[in-house]
Amino acid sequence: MAFPARHRIAVRLGSGQQHFAWIDLRDLMRAVEFVIQRPDICGPVNMAAPRRINNGPFTRALAERYRSWLVLPVPDLLLHLFMGEAAQLVLSGQCVYPER
Residue pair 47/31 in contact by the 8 Å Cβ criterion: yes
Beta-strand runs (E) in the chain: 9-13, 19-20, 53-54, 70-74
Residue-wise pLDDT for 72-96, tens only, equals: 888 889 888 988 888 887 788 777 7
Q: For strands 70-74 and 9-13, give the pairing.
A: parallel
Q: Where are the alpha helices (DSSP H) in 38-100?
A: 55-65, 76-83, 86-92
Domain coordinates of the chain in residue numbers? Answer: 2-92
Cα–Cα distance between 4 and 7 in angstroms, integer?
5
pLDDT in tens, 41-80: 988 888 888 888 888 898 999 899 999 988 888 888 988 8
